[in-house]
Amino acid sequence: MTRLRRAGLAPESPLAVAADGPGGLRLVALDAGARALGLRPGEPLGRVRARIGVPLHVRPADPEADAAALLRLCRWAGGYAPGVSPFGPAEGGHGLYIDVAGASHLRGGEAALLDDLAGRLARGDVPARVALADTPGGAFALAAHGPADRILAPPGAAAMHLRDLPVAALRLDPGTVAGLRRLGLRRIGALDDQPRGPLARRFGEAPLLRLDQALGRRPEPLAPLAAPDAFAAARGFLDPIGRQADVVAAARGLMAEIAPRLERAGLGACALRLALHRVDGLARALDIGLSRPERCPERVAALVSLRLDRLGAGLDAGFGFETVALTVTATGAVTVRQGVLGAEPAGERVGALADALAQRLGRRLVRLAPRESHRPERAERALPWDGADPSTSATAPWPDHLPPRPLVIFAQGEPARDVLAAAPDGPPRRFRWRAREHRVARAEGPERIAAEWWRAGGGPRDYYRIECEAGRRLWLYRDGPHAPDRPAAWYVHGIFP
């Protein structure tokens, strides 16, 4: 019902969802309007239609879409803690467990976590009852049959909370519940007080197992939702391998195992981790980054080989590696492009070169990109090479309206000493820089570059482009205006070619 409402498929009320059951269609879910009419889940649709006088809107049930919606909710709940498992058939399938052990402090404690979870669900228009207890069974019982929408059972106090709940809260099948009720055992506390032997003889292990699980006397492992498609492969070796060629061959074989899976998902590996487990228990992990998504085993093997080349003796094989595991740690979508017959596009080869250099030298290719800043030293930045075609790439074009900029720029201006300049705003005539006297033959300027008001520090600078008598061209600036009591400071900021 919630799924339909969120999808905008439930405009009318009363609305019911019906599915095939014993004796024809039966109601499985109702909205508030239908509940107000006194309808109950499980009633045969035909009888309901005959009983109520108002038209009832009925939609067919779609268990697959329900399961998908629950899965989406589980993925969302993964933000609270990694261990999330949806309800199975025993719980009715309309909810999920979150194992918050060790993760509640991230939200400021269990109470805060519960408030946050309930608040977010309410804002998302998902009606929910949440409970937190020591055991999954206890949490389920409190959430499904507890006295409030939001219950926090403190550690160790779950048994007390559970005693007053009906036995149906123990996830028992309806036959067992009915049988227990016939014996007068309506509450969990009453069931817990009974001798266990006769109970087990009459109803089997199930009620005791569920009771113990809810009270924490027996463990109840939850099957957490599988992480979204992990791409990994491992291979064990009876005879440990130690030679580089063998490791490379193993990596190639593992990638060949992973590649079809990646291909089915339309993905490529952006980062790989090759874990080498030595016979004596030491493990070594090599991280391999790729400049673009890749799934070709040969290329991965070549990169592994280059990486091992670089490690050299640093990769201590000891008595050999007995397990080699390859995991894809980051994936990216592979865009399939039409190639030219007989010619590999240059971008592909540059990508291969970038990867090879990254493995061989451990350094990445970068490309300069402009940055919007008045300050010349901050007006560019290095971006990792991404394989984009420079002519068509979406990177910002370089501005061409700037006055000429020097070829080499210093991160910080180097002070020029003994500057002789006409006050108040004349260009320098003579100065000393890098232990050398420079006489200015020609000067251009000033070009005033104001400080960026959104950053602290610095005043406007007056830049001059000067040429020495020796023919060298420098970029000087005067930091701030000249004042009578304080001579202006001059700095050399760059060199023109």
Where do contacts with other proteins occur on this chain (CB under 8 A)?
346, 349-350, 352-353, 356-357, 360-361, 363-370, 376, 379-380, 382, 385, 390, 393, 395, 397-400, 402, 404-409, 434, 436, 441-442, 444, 465, 467, 470-473, 494-497
Q: Please report how close the Cβ of residue 67 comes to other proteins at its closest, in angstroms.
A: 49
Q: Any bridge partners for residue 277, and if so which?
A: 283, 323
What's the rounded Cα separation, in Å, for the pair 73 and 75? 5
Q: Please report how close the Cβ of residue 346 comes to other proteins at its closest, in angstroms.
A: 5
Kindly list the distances between the CA atom of residue 189 and the CA atoms of 142, 158, 163, 186, in Å, as whole numbers in the listed order.
14, 12, 4, 9
All residues at 6 or more sequence positions from 455 whose CB lies less than 8 Å from its CB, including other chains: none
Q: Please report how close the Cβ of residue 350 comes to other proteins at its closest, in angstroms.
A: 5
Q: Please report how close the Cβ of residue 368 comes to other proteins at its closest, in angstroms.
A: 4
List strand residue ranges (DSSP E) for 31-76, in order: 57-60
What's the rounded Cα separation, in Å, for the pair 209 and 206? 5
What's the rounded Cα separation, in Å, for the pair 191 and 84? 30
DSSP letter string, 343-410: B--HHHHHHHHHHHHHHHHS---EEEEE---SSGGGSEEEEE-----TTT--SPPPPS-SPP--SEEE
| Closest to other proteins by CB, 201 or 434 | 434
| Closest to other proteins by CB, 8 or 471 | 471
Q: Please report how close the Cβ of residue 481 comes to other proteins at its closest, in angstroms.
A: 24
DSSP letter (8 states) at residue 314: G
| Closest to other proteins by CB, 183 or 350 | 350
| Closest to other proteins by CB, 434 or 486 | 434
| Closest to other proteins by CB, 256 or 388 | 388
| Closest to other proteins by CB, 284 or 360 | 360
| Closest to other proteins by CB, 6 or 371 | 371
Kindly list the distances between the CA atom of residue 380 and the CA atoms of 136, 192, 429, in Å, as whole numbers in the listed order.
55, 73, 31
Strands 150-152 and 24-30: unpaired
Q: Please report how close the Cβ of residue 461 comes to other proteins at its closest, in angstroms.
A: 16
Q: Any bridge partners for residue 466, and if so which?
A: 443, 474
Q: Please report how close the Cβ of residue 29 comes to other proteins at its closest, in angstroms.
A: 58
Q: Please report how close the Cβ of residue 413 comes to other proteins at its closest, in angstroms.
A: 14
| Closest to other proteins by CB, 282 or 407 | 407
Residue 321, judged by CB atoms within 10 A of its CB (0-12, 13-18, 19+), counts as: buried
* Phi, then psi, of 317 in degrees rounded to 5: -75, -15
